[in-house]
Structure 1
Amino acid sequence: MAYRQTDKVSARLADTRRSILDAARDLVSEGGFAAAQVSEVARRAGVATGTIYRYFSSKEELCRQIFREVSSQEMGLLATIASGDEPARTRLVKVLRTFAGRAVKGRRLAYALLAEPVDANLAEERAFFRRTHAEIFSRILEDGIEAGELPPMNAKIAAACIAGAIPTALIGPLAPQSQDLDKDPERIVDEIVAFCLAGVGVAQPDRKARKIERRATV
């Protein structure tokens, strides 16, 4: 008779896996993927080092799962904003400000996701993340063009440009050795938003409007 896990055993295994992933994510948030060494993950999770390999074949697989989970959470948040009923410009600003703002607040984790040197498999995950990000922008731009809020353009190309520009602009300020964020993090977010809006022919908000948009950001 084939062995079947009881609900209690399944729950225990799931809890252990979750503890491992949480520990690894905390380490990545503190020191990037390089900090997520298997022995340290095991210590943080309160398990034996060998237990890690029962759930993940390698450190690389564990890091890929962290990347997928965090990226999926962030993209889900942006997709929810993008699919709202507000005017396209409002949604565009909210997505831009949410993405850049959350990256600034979660500086070390964001740097790991966007810029830290990684293996080929993680690089593929990063490329998928960029494409998903571009698709979110593309839907907003298409809505804006159809509603007459935005000038005619190739929405897919414009979206790809925005999705590439934001990580590129953030890499310097997010870098561990940079002090830019210590000086004026909101200004960095404002400049990224203003640049992307100008790129699709949207007037830049004035100081009062920027303050309102900041409060509206998730």
Structure 2
Amino acid sequence: MSLKKINTVLVAAFILFILWFGTEFILSPETTAPGFGLPNWPSGDGDGFLIIKGIRDVVLALVLGILLVTGHRRALGWVLLVEALAAYGDMTTVLAHHGSVATALGVHGLTATLMVVNGLLILRETRTVAALRPHPLRCPPEARIGGADARNWKGPRRRRSDAGRPRRRVPDVGRRDPWTTRRDSDSEQRFDVLPAWLVEDLPGGRVRVPMA
């Protein structure tokens, strides 16, 4: 299984878990509150604070879901790292109020750590893809031929022969735009790739242009 598929499965699992947890706080706050880990929780009219917590979780899950569906994977990685702070904050709150240590570490702390790992893996995945993607590059002055940009160069022209043959233009075959790349994803060194032509003179006023 590729890294992209693993990341997608993990993100989908987080979305479903956070969405379920938030929905439970909205629909049945009094029965769900003990699972949060705090020793005491609001009751009666104070249930509104629990519903607010549930709405927060639902919104966090929807943000992740939208980024996943629309394919903004690099933004998804950064959002996972940021939303992990909310889970770390829940863990700290439970510990600071002498709540359940097992719930604080095993639920909130573990969830936050897995979100951080998932976010870092997604950033690594997207960084590799971005490094391998060719970037358009304008031809530098030293690579220009006859004052024209190399991307518009159709190839060399033949001189007028002694027999008075007219000048002919080399057919436009296999023309490519210049581009740039990097040696690997961690390297700052760039390699500029420019198109080149090898034209061979043949007897009878003919020329040969290699296709590859």
Decide: shared fold, TM above 0.5.
no
Q: Which structure has the larger Rg over C-alpha atoms?
A: 2
TM-score for the superposition, normalised by structure 2: 0.30
TM-score for the superposition, normalised by structure 1: 0.30
Name whichever structure is richer in strand by fraction. 2
